Amino acid sequence: MNKRLIAAFAALLCLGMSLFSDVKVTDRGDGTVDILFTTPDDGYGDLYLIGSFNSWVEPGDAMVLGADNIWEISLEADSLDEIKYKFFCDGAYISDVNAPDEVDDGFGGFNGLVVVEDLLNAEPVVAEAAESGEAVATDVPVKREKLAFGTVTYIESETNFNSDQGDFEGTDSLLNSKSVWTLKGDAVKRMPVHLEVLFFEGSVPVWEKDPAPADDTVDGVELVDGLEKLGAGLIFVPAYYLGGNNRPVLDQISFGFDTPWISYETGYGSAAVPARTSIIWDTIEEDGTDAGDGYSLFRLGEDLREIGDFSLDLAVMPHKSLNDYYGLTAYVSGEYGPAVLDFQYNLRTSTTDDPKELFQDPARQDIIAGAGVYVGPLSVETQFLYSIYLQGGTVNARPFADKMALEGLLGFEKEDLFGAELGFKYRGFAAQMLFADNDSVLGESETMTFSAGGWMQFGNKIVPRLNGEAVIPNGSQAGGNVAISFTPGVGIEMPFGEATMSLDASVTMGIDTQPAAGDSSFYLADIVADFSTGMLIPGVLEGLNIHYSLDNSTTDDLFNTLLAEADFPYGLKAQLGAGLRTGDAVDNPFGIFAGAAWKIDEEQVFSPELYINFTFNMDPYDADNRTAYKYDGDGLLDEGSAKSDGNSALRLGVQWSY
């Protein structure tokens, strides 16, 4: 398996959980209600409900496990309340995939949403009784029709220092900020809307050191002048000033309608083209392509997708979303019993102003086909791509094999026992999809990849796994280096005092049959280990997370990182870590950082989070969330040893996310 699959599987063992719950609202008759959350047990030591009702202060309110193995908790709320929530267990947030409704959480996932008034007024869903055939009403509510507002906002002061090779000299002091406002939901029944406003985003210098004498084209910023502009900007034109003298813009918009026969969606700007997964491949990457000048997606409605035992999904999407060229995407997918067939066609023209040329000698076309068969624990999946280029062009004149890619997967999984998978990939020189991250989906150009992996579960606590792959050159590269990698790993979960401890660790090693001059055939690519535990000391230490990784992905240096995060009562969080670079080209071997955050329990101001952090020759923080670490797809620190090498910063700020 490739590294992305390995990292995703490791994350699944540690954190990737979802719960199916039931939410019921009882009207008290005095303007208040009782909301009962229930969910089946899945071996959790402790389970909590966390959300806007407690200002997201971890770990949330404890749920109670009944004799019937059902967790439950009851909340009192006002009849006009809207409550966002998730479950919380062992330091991990768990989305409720059976929530009455959901809203974007600002981090690529979703929060459950309970709109009390909608649930009280919801029409019951009518179902057929299993035996009598009579229509009966269930207590499953219809989806809400209201729009939900959310934002990700931060404002911070950042002072930067040059810490290269032992120096420590201030270079500038900036006011960094970003605020994205979203409005998502149904404008009216069956008419979904998603608006995203970039209210401000900028980095404004309050003080800046004068540049070197040789550069007389740029002046520094005197502190007095910077503070004067800061005061005037925040008083007179705050959004314009914080946005670096740019006005707020409607950065993303999509809307549409759903009927039983057809659904329609259109979007513009930075709204992402609707993602799509075929059998194996992400043929339209999630958040991968901006809508640009726009798209229109026409799709069969729900009533037309089911024809007896046969399911059909059909859609056509004209667009100008690939560098504003006219294009067209269409797909059809059919499912009958255990078999699924899928076909997708992508087209991009060479014109931005003449739609009549849509089918006249298009510049690029994708033909993508796939099939899957799923019988019990056994799955067989295949995927094929043929890339068509401009007629008469040199690329289109290449052999068929150079423009094709294919993949096959054979899997067997016995739930809670073991699983195994065998895979094969082939990618020709010119094979690529218009809407995909081709290297991660198709593999390296001009290669064949053989992969195998498996896992076994011992009890409910220990899951060892082993994955490996061999990348063999083909085409013009045939006879070159064969890269073999294998990744053993293990996930462990067990009681630890009153908490539950989880550990996930993996090691990726490789062998090159033709290594570069001076390199060894065998190499250690990376080591990743994550440890987390729930409440260790009640009322004192509510959670602890530790991450260690060794990154040997570059030829210049090797980077060890150790990151720790501790959760305390009242929404307090502390972070500490260190990094060590080794190698012949290393100038700054040591890096450290420290941070602290406080999630204020105050719903009236939407529970802001205050934070302070100091970074020295390493920076683990996410640019859009200054209290969260950012990892890449392999579980390593994003940007590795290069991020903040020779630079340091002191940040003090506040952020909101809801």
The DSSP bridge pattern shows strands 590-599 and 609-616 to be antiparallel
pLDDT of residue 476: 76
pLDDT of residue 116: 85
pLDDT of residue 11: 34
Cα angle 149-155-158, degrees, rounded to a multiple of 5: 155
Q: Is the peptide bond before 495 cis (omega within 30 degrees of 0)?
A: no
Query: Does residue 604 register a pLDDT over 80?
Result: no
Q: What is the mean pLDDT of residues 90-94?
A: 84
Q: Helix (H, G, I), strand (E, B), or coil: what is residue 302?
A: helix
pLDDT of residue 349: 94
Phi and psi of 517, rounded to 5°?
A: -55, 130
Q: What is the mean pLDDT of residues 556-565?
A: 92
Q: Which CA distances in Å does 471 have to 44, 317, 440, 474, 525?
A: 40, 36, 13, 10, 15
Tokens at 174, concatenated: 């900036």
Tell me the pLDDT of the chain averaged across its residues: 87
N- to C-terminal Cα distance for the chain? Answer: 36
pLDDT of residue 91: 79
Question: CB neighbours of 585 closer than 8 A, spacing ≥ 6?
Answer: 556, 557
Q: Helix (H, G, I), strand (E, B), or coil: what is residue 269?
A: strand
What domains appear along the chain, each with residue ranges and CATH number? 18-143 (2.60.40.10), 168-188+191-242 (no CATH), 268-445 (no CATH), 458-532 (no CATH), 536-658 (no CATH)
Query: Does residue 77 register a pLDDT over 50?
Result: yes
pLDDT band at 216 (very low <50, low <70, confident <90, very high): low
**Spatial CA neighbour of 294 closest among 270, 278, 310, 276:** 270
pLDDT of residue 452: 98
Q: Which of 204-218, 600-614, 643-657 has the lowest average pLDDT?
A: 204-218
pLDDT of residue 251: 79
pLDDT of residue 12: 35
Helical segments of 251-326, H only: 302-305
**Rg (alpha carbons) of the chain, rounded to whole number:** 27
pTM of the model: 0.77
Tokens at 524, concatenated: 């250690």
Query: Does residue 173 register a pLDDT over 90?
Result: yes
Q: Which of 103-117, 129-143, 146-160, 468-482 has the lowest average pLDDT?
A: 129-143
The rounded percent of the chain whose pLDDT value lies above 90 is 59
Q: What is the mean pLDDT of residues 508-530?
A: 92
Please tell me which residue, 419 or 42, carries the higher pLDDT value: 419
pLDDT band at 211 (very low <50, low <70, confident <90, very high): confident
pLDDT digits (tens, 9 = 90+) for 271-303: 899 999 999 999 999 888 999 999 999 999 988
The DSSP bridge pattern shows strands 378-389 and 262-272 to be unpaired
Residue pointed to by tokens 């060894």: 520
Q: What is the mean pLDDT of residues 330-339?
A: 96
pLDDT of residue 393: 86
pLDDT digits (tens, 9 = 90+) for 335-370: 999 999 999 999 999 999 988 888 888 999 999 999
pLDDT band at 133 (very low <50, low <70, confident <90, very high): very low
pLDDT band at 135 (very low <50, low <70, confident <90, very high): very low
pLDDT of residue 629: 95
pLDDT band at 17 (very low <50, low <70, confident <90, very high): very low
Query: Does residue 224 register a pLDDT over 60?
Result: yes
Query: Does residue 657 register a pLDDT over 70?
Result: yes
pLDDT of residue 332: 98
Query: Does residue 10 register a pLDDT over 50?
Result: no
Phi and psi of 46, rounded to 5°?
A: -140, 145
**Spatial CA neighbour of 471 closest among 525, 519, 517:** 525
pLDDT of residue 513: 93
Kindly report the length of the chain.
Answer: 658
pLDDT of residue 97: 84
Q: Give the type of residue at 499.
A: A
Query: Does residue 14 register a pLDDT over 80?
Result: no
Query: Does residue 225 register a pLDDT over 70?
Result: yes
Question: CB neighbours of 334 closer than 8 A, spacing ≥ 6?
Answer: 310, 311, 312, 313, 340, 341, 342
Q: What is the mean pLDDT of residues 57-83?
A: 89
Instruction: For residues 237 and 243, give the distance between their C-alpha atoms in angstroms, rounded to a whole number.
Output: 10
Q: Helix (H, G, I), strand (E, B), or coil: what is residue 166?
A: helix
Instruction: For residues 331 and 78, give the distance between their C-alpha atoms in angstroms, rounded to a whole number.
Output: 46
Query: Does residue 134 register a pLDDT over 60?
Result: no
pLDDT of residue 217: 55
CB of 295 closer than 8 Å to CB of 285: no
Instruction: For residues 311 and 305, give the distance between their C-alpha atoms in angstroms, rounded to a whole number.
Output: 5
Q: How many CB atoms lie within 10 A of CB 555?
A: 11
Please tell me which residue, 103 or 493, carries the higher pLDDT value: 493
